[in-house]
Each structure stands twice: as C-alpha cells, then as structure tokens.
Amino acid sequence: MAVPQRVFQLFAFFSVMIAVGRVLAQPAEIIYEEPTPEVKAEPVKPIPTPSLTISDAVVATDVKALTPAGSGNLFDDDIGSLVFFTRVNGAQQATAIRHIWFFGEKQVSTAVLSIKSPSWRTYSRLEIRPDRIGDWHVDAVDNHGTVLISRSFTIQATTR
C-alpha cells in the first residue's frame, strides 16, 4: 500500500521542524561578555488607572433583560430576595467590583462581580430572611476598597 504524497510531505515538514526546534533550543555559548556600566534605575511609578464610576444603582426585587424591576427602598419581610443592580462605567480592561451587603452595621454577604467592558451592567442577589427586619445598605466597592456608591433600604414587618 502506497503512502499518499500529502502524508509524506507532512511527515517531512514536521521532521524538519522538530530538528530545527532542537537546534534552536540549545543554550547559546557566551564567548565574551562586555561589562555593563552601573546605571541607577529610577523608581517605577504606578500607572494611574481611570476610576470606575456607577451611573445607575438600585435595590430591586428582580432583574429582567438586564433592567431592574420593582426598585425601592422599603420592602416587606416576606420579599424572599432582593437584587442590587449597578451600571459600571470607565473600565479600561477586565476588572471586578464587589457588592457588600450589610444588615445594620453587620456585613452579611459579599459578591464579586466581573466587569468586562467600559459600560457594564451587573447585579447580585441576596436572600432576605423574614427575621431580619430593619435598616440595610449595600455598597459597590472597587478593587482598591473604595466605596463607589451605597444604597440604603429598609425591611419592614408584614402585618399578618
């Protein structure tokens, strides 16, 4: 059975590439190394990154088609869950923000959310237990720990 010419050509090509790769992978021998004068290096300055901004931030009952629904700042204790929706602007590269949820002054949850373009909509969801009646707030925080925006809301007892 004859080997098709194309298979033979591919075999020959890859054999040559492997041989060239082995030759190029050999360490170079240094015959003469010129001394380098001492140069004082200047300290590296951090590159400032543009700050992120939040153009829209709401606490709501749901998100439909990346739009918050049922937004407000007063909710009944039988709500089940709430979302914190944010529109983040200014990302020059992929980054992340955090949504930090507080009941009173106690942190109860943190969600890390990817930001993948200069204008990005994102949200986190938190289950609200009926026994957590009172004042809440949720912060959107950048990677440096800066609070970009905060929204307060209240969970009230449902009259039964």
Residue 159 has what pLDDT?
A: 74
Domain-embedded: residue 38: no
Distance CA 63, CA 57 (A): 12
Domain-embedded: residue 22: no
Whole-prediction pTM value?
Answer: 0.68
Domain-embedded: residue 149: yes
Per-residue tokens: 128 = 């609200």
Which residue range forms the structural domain that includes residue 138?
53-156
Distance CA 58, CA 148 (A): 13
Residue 43 has what pLDDT?
A: 57
Domain-embedded: residue 140: yes
The answer to whether 138 and 114 have CB atoms below 8 angstroms apart is no
Domain-embedded: residue 135: yes
Per-residue tokens: 127 = 């289950």
Q: Which residues of the chain have a pLDDT value below 50?
A: 20, 23-34, 36, 44-49
Residue 76 has what pLDDT?
A: 96
What CATH number is given to the structural domain containing 101?
Answer: 2.60.40.10
Domain-embedded: residue 31: no
Tell the burial category of 109 from Cβ atoms under 10 Å away from its Cβ (0-12, 13-18, 19+): middle
pLDDT in tens, 100-129: 999 999 999 999 999 999 999 999 999 999
Domain-embedded: residue 48: no
The number of domains in the chain is 1
Residue 154 has what pLDDT?
A: 98
Distance CA 91, CA 145 (A): 16
Domain-embedded: residue 20: no
Tell the burial category of 125 from Cβ atoms under 10 Å away from its Cβ (0-12, 13-18, 19+): middle
